[in-house]
A and B are shown apart, each in its own frame.
Chain A
Amino acid sequence: MQSTKLALVGQPNTGKSSLLNSLAGARVIVSNYPGTTVEITKAKIKVQESLVELIDTPGIYSISDASAEEKVTAIVIFGENIDGAIVLVDTTGLERGLYLVFQMFETGIPTIVALNFIEEAQKKGIQIDTKKLESTLGVPVIQINPITKKGIKELSSKILRVNELSCCPFIVSYDDHIERAIEIISEGLAETLPLSKRFIAIRILENDKNFFKYLKDKTALDKAADVLTLHPNVSRDISITRYGEASFIARLVTTITPKGRARSFGDRLDEVLLNPLIGPFITFIFFGFVFAVLLFAGGWLQELLMAGAEKYLINLLPTRSSGLLSSMVAQGLYGLAAGVAIALPYVFLFYIFLGLLEDIGLLSRFILSLERPMRKLGLSGQAFIPAVLGLGCSVPAIRVMRILSSEKERIQSAFLFACIPCSSRTAVIMGIVGFYGGVSLALSVYFTIAVSLLIYAFLLKKILKTIPQPLIMEMPSYRRPLLNNVVVKGWVRMQDFVYIVIPLLAAGGALYGLLIEIGLTQFIIKPFEPLTVDWLNLPAETVVPLAYGFIQKDLTPGMLVAVLGANLNDFLSPIQLYTFGVASSIQIPCVIAFWMLIRELGIKNASLITTLSLAYSLLIAGLMWRVISVLSIL
């Protein structure tokens, strides 16, 4: 069977994943290219007995090497040996879409243009003459709607014949000097090239270093510079010409009928959400509410799942002997259950929620409102998303940091997870401090963590001097979300958690089973006395639950009771409960989060972040109990 390989290319929010979904359903494979953090989804579909492989690329504004998304898309276009490409264009912004289309034409890859959001454009009074556009561009132009499946059949049949597309799409011609320079560079290029000579020559003129390797005759650059004396900034002149052509053609095929002044619902919503005063207020209320719902619904679901799992596990181990193996198996299964119980309620619910906000178009509005307060902490508005997710579980939150544009900003926000209590740390604070010391004591732990977070963030801002990229963000029109899309996206984002974190939780549980069974923990009590007894004023045994906490935070409450006894009030004063709560909460929570940090930021950064965070937590906890005891004497 003959197989065709196609790339889906388009600007952000042009509906690429919706199209992939309507063509392929949920049968997508997610992958990363080595050294990149941006995801690629692929799907194989059957069109009239032929196999078609579709590669969905991240949304890009143009083919260039400026952002991580653009680099990845470049890898797909240049390295995947594709037979053709579908460029998705948002009809309400035709000229922007055409800009990207013209670049694809330059590559020489057979291209089909798909116009999305036709209905939305019509509502705005924008009509496109598709036939005229098709004859101007010289390639098939198809109106599609992935939701109503309009145009999908036509698109599929065109996909199969992508190789037979006529040879000569519209090519932007530049200023005479630039054309001459393109000729000169083309003559200096190597014989075998992955893409058209013209495209590579233009990329070289645009100073894209990745293409310099195709230049055989290095003197061509100087020769080209000779004819470009009137163009001190060639790359800018090239983009302006290309954009000029795009908007000229867009105007040629567009008729705009001015619509009445009636403001749409979206406009009225924006009046509120984008208001400089009300917007941030609503954003905080909204996320507060979301967090409360997740904590409540998630906590309830988690309890339900754990209760069910425990019952099941007890039945599973009929011989409740205290053998080493059965202890490990039991604890391993317990870890597995804990993983599932966190994954489903917190992580999956949150991702579904995030996906909904994204697809409706609300997320970018919220990020705008958060931009100012987050910038005060030296971060961009985007950094709020991993932070909120961190309230559920730090591991997927660390992964979501990929949305941040610079590594420095990722490192800085990774530090903050130390002071963002995940659901397991919440369980320690509520289950130990709250249960034995009362709600107000638990709240004071939260308060301490919050203040520590702010101090930590300001210190980091001073030390790292991160300057987040200035805000450039499109706020897409409000759209009805495609539920299928949201669920698939949620699942894609959760795969790491399911395939990596949950097995690790099970392994951690098994390790824990092994450690208690052979009683290896006792020997660490003595050497840590200076820390526990002298600095933190806690019983020496508490080092055991603190240490186990690093394997899995969920183990802390159980271990504390195990080493001290069920009636904790006999062993710990309220101040000690508070100190224990603070010391066990301000940390990179567990070994899995640590591992995730290694994966995302490298071992050096991960170790630095974890060590510093641990030191910070011990410092705060030790200082706080001293301050409190001094205050209580006064």
Chain B
Amino acid sequence: MNENLIREIMEDALRMAVETGKDCVSVNMLKKDITATEELLIEAVDRLKKEGLVRIKNHETILTKKGREKAAKILARHEIIEKYFHDILKEPMCHNVAHTLEHFVSSETTRRMRELLNLKQKGKSAVDFPPGTNILIIAVEIPDKRIFGRLIGLGLAPGSRLKIEEEVPDAIIFNIRGRKIALAKEIAKNLVAVREDAKY
């Protein structure tokens, strides 16, 4: 029998149990969403029982504590993958992609995806940092090709580390290793940055 397939069905079953909010697993429920032979589905539920992830209570198969913990992990991974594909890769099929990938992506990769998502979330406009802050630019969201090129030429690129030197009424002065650059706030607001020492 297909070992990998059963593993996948087990993980899906746990996730679906939590998603429905009832914490219970049944072959009939699995049938609706998973295209696999009934044999396989029964085998998967059996395995869940054997591994102590579900137990029978009042004729229903419900999650054990261990099962809920495992389900929560799978769900979290699913969410990270889905969000990563949605926010960063702009993949319209992100939900389906997450369904497939959640079984394969290693915990290390999931951690990195989460870091990148956090970084993107923590990122805020460069005008929102007080003078004296050291920042790391993570995105330059400027559609105008000319202005974008000029900024890159000045060293204001994603990955650049700089210090907010001073704020004057309409402009921000940045300091890149001793070189100072004055930038109108209307441009600086499109630089997305995080604190250089930010933990993510």
Q: Closest A residue to B179 by CB, please name it.
A: A93
> Hey, which chain B residues are within 8 Å of A92, CB to CB?
177-179
> Hey, which chain A residues are within 8 Å of B166, CB to CB?
270, 274-276
Contact A471 B152, CB 8 Å, known A93-B177, A247-B157: no
Q: Is the CB of B171 within 8 A of A64?
A: no
Of the stretches B29-37, B51-59, B180-188, the one at the interface is: B180-188
A487 near B: Cβ within 8 Å?
no
Main secondary structure of the interface of B (DSSP, over half): mixed
> Hey, which chain A residues are within 8 Å of B164, CB to CB?
none
> Hey, which chain A residues are within 8 Å of B155, CB to CB?
93, 95-96
Q: Is the CB of A99 within 8 A of B186?
A: no
In the assembled complex, the Cα of A371 lies from the Cα of B173 at a distance in Å of 13
In the assembled complex, the Cα of A235 lies from the Cα of B143 at a distance in Å of 11
Q: Is the CB of B149 within 8 A of A239?
A: yes
- Complex partner residue of A64 from B149, B157, B183, CB under 8 angstroms: B149
Q: Is the CB of B173 within 8 A of A274?
A: yes
Query: How many A residues are at the interface, by size bracket?
Result: 35 or more
- 7 extra interface residue pairs, beta carbon distance < 8 Å, beyond A60-B153, A274-B166, A470-B147: A93-B177, A93-B179, A96-B154, A236-B145, A368-B168, A368-B182, A472-B182
- Complex partner residue of B154 from A61, A66, A375, A471, CB under 8 angstroms: A61
| A→B interface (CB under 8 Å) | 11, 60-62, 64, 66-67, 92-93, 95-96, 99-100, 124, 126, 207, 235-236, 239-240, 243-244, 247, 270, 274-276, 279, 364, 368, 371-372, 375, 470-477
**Nearest chain A CB to B136 CB, angstrom units:** 13
Q: Is the CB of B184 within 8 A of A470?
A: yes
**Nearest chain B CB to A368 CB, angstrom units:** 5
**Nearest chain A CB to B71 CB, angstrom units:** 35
- Complex partner residue of A276 from B148, B168, B179, CB under 8 angstroms: B168
- Complex partner residue of B152 from A62, A126, A279, CB under 8 angstroms: A62
In the assembled complex, the Cα of A236 lies from the Cα of B144 at a distance in Å of 10
Q: Is the CB of B178 within 8 A of A475?
A: no
B165 near A: Cβ within 8 Å?
yes
| B→A interface (CB under 8 Å) | 145-155, 157-160, 165-171, 173, 176-184, 186-187
In the assembled complex, the Cα of A433 lies from the Cα of B155 at a distance in Å of 55
The 7 A-B pairs at the shortest CB distance, nearest first, are namely: A61-B153, A470-B184, A66-B146, A471-B184, A475-B180, A276-B168, A243-B157
Q: Closest B residue to A248 by CB, please name it.
A: B159
Q: Is the CB of B152 within 8 A of A375?
A: no
> Hey, which chain B residues are within 8 Å of A61, CB to CB?
149-150, 152-154
**A to B CB contacts below 8 Å, 22 in the list:** A60-B153, A61-B150, A62-B149, A62-B152, A67-B150, A92-B177, A92-B178, A95-B155, A96-B153, A239-B148, A240-B152, A243-B157, A270-B166, A368-B171, A372-B168, A470-B147, A471-B184, A472-B147, A472-B154, A475-B182, A477-B178, A477-B179
**Nearest chain A CB to B156 CB, angstrom units:** 9
In the assembled complex, the Cα of A477 lies from the Cα of B148 at a distance in Å of 24
In the assembled complex, the Cα of A155 lies from the Cα of B168 at a distance in Å of 42
Q: Is the CB of B159 within 8 A of A11?
A: no
Contact A472 B149, CB 8 Å, known A276-B168, A371-B170, A372-B169: no
In the assembled complex, the Cα of A279 lies from the Cα of B170 at a distance in Å of 14
Q: Is the CB of A247 within 8 A of B159?
A: yes
**Nearest chain B CB to A386 CB, angstrom units:** 20
